[in-house]
Amino acid sequence: MRRNHLLAAISLGWLFAAAVNAACNPQNVTYSNEMLPNGTYMPWSLIGLVNSVPGSKQYITIVNLTPHRFILQNTHSYQMDVFDWGDIPQGHARQNTVVYTNKPGKTAVDDGGEAYYAIDGTDKTFFVRATTHIPDSHPARTVIDLTGMGQGQREYLDPAAQSPVTLVITGSDSYGFITSIKYGAGNWMKSIYEVIKDRQIQHVVMPGTHDAGMSTISGQILSGGISENTQTQGLNIYNQLRAGSRYFDLRVGSVHSITDTSDYSFWTLHVNDETAEVAVGNSGESLDDIISEINQFTAENPGEVIFFHVRYLIGIREVPSLGPIYWTTSIVNDFFGKLKGVNNRCGNLDTSTTFNQKPASYFMDQNGGNGCVVFLLAGDLQPTVPQDSVADGIYQANRLSIADDWSDLGDTQPMAEDQASDWKQVIRGGSSDTFHISQWLVSADIVTTTLLTIEGIGILPTNPALYWMGVNNMTPQSWPTVILTDYIGVVVKGQHNWEQLSADIYTLAIGLNLYMVSENCDVSTISSPLLANANTKLKMATLSKPWNGIHFANGTIVNDPPRHLHPGRVEILRKGTRFLNGTVLEEDIINPDFNSTAV
């Protein structure tokens, strides 16, 4: 019987080392109180410029959400005016800087450098290489080499001058490591069920997507919105779910025939004012497509908690004019009928307390363990029409008590400072505790947005700042519940295919849950799963599964490369190569690590 139970557990992907978790002990906290040097925000003036190597300044941000210090062991660089790297303490991030030389007589093809890190208390290592690929529209490259951790390698295009490449590492030597160079399980919540199940849902950090339905411009309304100033995502709802999002800002309206307003269909919309006489914007995905995508994801990835905060809920004519069309009971019931097509809705949830105070397992265990899709309505419904359908899992938005923090600021730095200041006022486990939504996005004027594009503003200066400025302003006591962004997963403009994405926010959310929140004994009753002496070591193989492949910048993935192959590693260390200790080579030498299979 015991063997049968073990086989059943393995078939689910779970490995249990003990039956009972030890209690959380504040004396076991590993979070470091060190202050790291401030990073630098990418100037918006660089957003539209072509990235060129000579004189180019690039940043590589490394996020440490493990109980181990990342120790800089050595560096070597050639033709780099700046090659600045350092240790990354537990719970922090460091923005590292490289500047390619523009001195006369130097050949950019030869520029490069490598930083060597050891993970303290383990035999694990990793390396980061700054290199070039000339000629190319993205001549500067960053290679993340995690073969010393059993996690493979990835070559990244540097997105633009001074727009960082990000590496997020979480887990531990005993738990296994999870990194942002590769997506893991789609049902990441289920994968860490034993860690989060007893936490209030407001204590589970999750990515969110702003104007989530606007991954395309479908042109259902004839108005002024174009992709540059209206599209906010590069992935449809299905792929946003795969990229980790669990909270969706979804704006749904009915689009009506100009000649017969009884002829309508439901679409996501992004307009300046849905109640205006003439709304300006455009439509995105259809509600029918979104419902199909939700069902596809939940069938493939059971056990997740997914919130759809649905706004607008109003009609607009195909040619916006004559003001809004407020929904009648018939239209509301038609809309509810559509939502009933979503599988794994959660009807008749307990409303004696607000949802945010309920444990994660309350939602995850619904529908026989298949999880919960929760619709929260916060639109323009008139008092005379139905406001919810509780039996069908359609609720008024106030059932989830939230603090929705929108800075409404037009530049990255003031927005980031405002957001960090606000979530630091939320003391987790204290009287100010709440389901805090950090809208990590800027609200530039229409001219700036059209010129620089929502995508450019989002993925180049704004999203990358989250990983150094945002992380370094989080502690085990203060962090947001939802991190809401534009263009989730996208790191290079226009590159929206799955193999071109990076799992930065996916890994950040998992890491904040596994590491940061686990070190707050006021909200986490059990010992951190990342500690070596934890009584229960729970490991989900699909999250921390070893991988030794290479993911190249063009999207090609080689799962079983030659062991000596390390993209960007130079065969010759040239005369003039500078090392961390100040040594400068006086002649060319063979790189002893070039053909090494040890790392």
pLDDT per position as a tens digit, 189-226: 999 999 999 999 999 999 999 999 999 999 999 998 99
Q: Residue 518: pLDDT above 60?
A: yes
Angle, to 10 degrees, between the axis of helix 287-300 and the axis of helix 329-339? 30
pLDDT score of 9: 37
pLDDT beyond 50 at 35: yes
Pairing of strands 482-485, 435-439: parallel
| Predicted TM-score (pTM) of this structure | 0.95
- Which of 133-137, 369-373, 377-381 has the weakest average pLDDT? 133-137
Q: What's residue 16's pLDDT?
A: 37
Residue among 328, 312, 308, 315 at smallest CA distance from 245: 308
pLDDT band at 450 (very low <50, low <70, confident <90, very high): very high
**Whether the Cβ atoms of residue 228 and residue 486 lie closer than 8 Å to each other:** no
For residue 250, the model assigns a pLDDT of 98
How high is the pLDDT of residue 532?
Answer: 86
Domain limits, CATH 2.60.270.50, in the chain: 1-182+490-599
Q: What is the mean pLDDT of the chain?
A: 93
Annotate 60-96 with three-state secondary structure.
EEEEEECCCCEEEEEEEEECEEEEECCCECCCEEEEE
pLDDT of amino acid 366 = 98
pLDDT tens per residue across span 264-295:
999 999 999 999 999 999 999 999 999 999 99
Instruction: Give me the percent of the chain exceeding a pLDDT of 90.
Output: 86
Q: Which residue spans within 235-344 are E strands per DSSP?
A: 247-256, 264-271, 281-286, 304-317
Q: Please give the average per-residue pLDDT across 32-37, as a whole number.
A: 95
Over residues 403-410, the mean pLDDT reads 98
Give the pLDDT confidence score for residue 536 in this predicted structure. 53
pLDDT of 11 > 80? The answer is no
Where residue 594 falls among pLDDT bands split at 50, 70, 90? confident
Fold of 1-182+490-599: Mutm (Fpg) Protein; Chain: A, domain 2 (2.60.270)
- Per-residue model confidence (pLDDT) at position 598: 62
Alpha-carbon Rg for the chain, nearest whole angstrom, is: 25
From CA 95, how far away is CA 117, in angstroms rounded?
15
Q: What is the pLDDT of residue 406?
A: 98
pLDDT in tens, 461-510: 999 999 999 999 999 999 999 999 999 999 999 999 999 999 999 999 99
| Residues shown for the chain | 599
How would CATH label the architecture of 200-489? Alpha-Beta Barrel (3.20)
445-484 in b/e burial notation, b at 16+ Cβ within 10 A? Answer: eeebbeebbbbbbbbbbbbbbbbbbbbbbbbbbbbbbbbb
* 380-398 average pLDDT score: 98
- Gap between the Cα atoms of 369 and 76, Å rounded: 51
Predicted local distance difference test score (pLDDT) of residue 74: 97
What is the arithmetic mean of pLDDT over 552-566? Answer: 94
pLDDT at 136: 86
What integer pLDDT is reported at residue 389 of this predicted model?
A: 98
Given pLDDT bands bounded at 50, 70 and 90, which one contains residue 22?
confident
Please, where in the chain does CATH 3.20.20.190 lie?
200-489
Give the Cα separation of 414 and 399 in Å (integer). 32
Give the pLDDT score at 2.
38
